[in-house]
Amino acid sequence: MNLDTNYLGLTLRNPLIVGASPCCDDIDVCRRLETAGAAALVMHSLFEEQVEFEEAARYRLLEGTAESNPEARDYFPNLEDYSLTPDLYLRQLARLKATLKIPVIASLNGYRPGGWVDHARRIEATGADALELNLYSLPTDPDTDADTIESDQLFIIRGVIESVTIPVSVKLSPWHTAPAHFIREVELCGAKGVVLFNRFYQPDFDIEDLEVKPQLRLSDSSELLLRLRWLSIVSPHAKLSLAASGGVHTSEDVIKSVLAGAHATQLVSAILRHGPGVVTDILYGLVNWMEAHDYENLGQVRGALNLSRCPDPAAHERANYVKILQSWKV
Ligand SMILES: Cc1cc2nc3c(=O)[nH]c(=O)nc-3n(C[C@H](O)[C@H](O)[C@H](O)COP(=O)(O)O)c2cc1C
């Protein structure tokens, strides 16, 4: 059975990637993930805020502010606590590259143009096989329109792509007005792939203490449906690689993602919940399903149910929505 897949120009031994998360913080866990069958891994992100904090702290030290002002000294931690953060990231990347045989994808996470983008070059120089760019922004200003947000994002994407030679993928928000169009724009910038989708942290309300509670819930398979829809719509046209992220927990989820057109799937919640062994279980289920359905390679499965190839394209579209709504009775 041939599970090879081409993702961002890299040949992966199967479509299971460990998504950006703390899974890659521990070398031993990464080794276990590789042994369990993971085909690549994405490091947790280096955040724009981390980079800028380090730069601001260095500047203050150089200017003497942090030394001369006791309040500032309280505010800025010891040099060792903050100034090495991006350096530590690169050191972890170097360690992963030295230990693992599978590709290691670094991740940059930001939302504004700026110096943090220069870190793409340092990431490339340290040996990352690819770079995933996560443009996590939460526009709260009603004066900022969608066009401005998208133009800013494309500006950042172009800047990163022009500064490195390794393949760059972009992890997208599902909340674009016209995702298919935006993905084409991302492709025109030179990105080699897109990850559908980023999963936004959503705070809850505490109605007794009247507080907004930060929380991070792990996903379940129901979240995959949004990914399946957009993979199906985008895959007939896209020339870049497509990865599903969000709600991939089982071999069925991987099969569905590939049928929708994904070249790869990223797992985080499933690994955090069940440990590295879940990767082996999923691969086992994938191979069994392919054998039972007489598939010899993943290429035969990819896109078989996307918008242009599924037997009933209306099932993806508005017509089916009306039918489904009318099927409910009280
Ligand atoms: C604890 C945790 C940490 C994460 N850290 C990052 C990160 O650093 N960068 C990033 O792009 N995504 C991050 N994510 C998002 C995941 O990469 C992924 O997109 C999301 O969890 C959906 O996938 P899942 O359903 O398999 O969990 C994180 C998710 C979790 C649960």
**Single-letter residue type at 97:** K
Is the shortest distance between the CB of 246 and ligand 1 below 6 Å? yes
The per-residue pLDDT for range 247-296, each reduced to its tens digit, is 999 999 999 999 999 999 999 999 999 999 999 999 999 999 999 999 99
Tell me the pLDDT band of 140, cut-offs 50, 70 and 90.
confident
Any idea what the CATH number is for the domain that residue 243 is in?
Answer: 3.20.20.70
> Is 208's pLDDT higher than 70?
yes
Query: Which of 12-26, 47-61, 63-77 is the least confident region?
Result: 63-77
Task: Kindly state if the Cβ of 257 falls inside 6 Å of ligand 1.
Answer: no
Q: How many CB atoms lie within 10 A of CB 279?
A: 25
| Nearest residue (CA) to ligand 1, atom 28 | 21
For a pocket test of ligand 1, which of 132, 136, 195, 199 has the largest count of ligand atoms closer than 8 A to its C-beta? Answer: 199
For the chain, percent of residues with pLDDT exceeding 70: 89
Rounded-to-integer distance, Cα 260 and Cα 176, Å: 20
Query: Would you say residue 82 has pLDDT above 60?
Result: no
Partners of residue 108 on adjacent β-strands: 46, 133
Tally of domains within the chain:
1
Write down the mean pLDDT value for the chain: 88
Task: Name which of 126-130, 269-273, 276-280, 307-311 the model is least confident about.
Answer: 307-311
Tell me which of 45, 92, 196, 268 to substitute to probe ligand 1's pocket, judged by most ligand atoms within 8 Å of the beta carbon.
Answer: 268
> Which atom of ligand 1 approaches the CA of 268 most closely?
26
pLDDT at 4: 97
Closest CA relative to residue 304, chosen from 259, 255, 258, 247: 259
pLDDT at residue 55 in the model:
64
Residue whose CA is at the smallest distance from ligand 1 atom 23? 246
Nearest atom (ligand 1) to Cα of 216: 31
pTM: 0.90
Q: Which domain holds residue 166?
A: 5-326
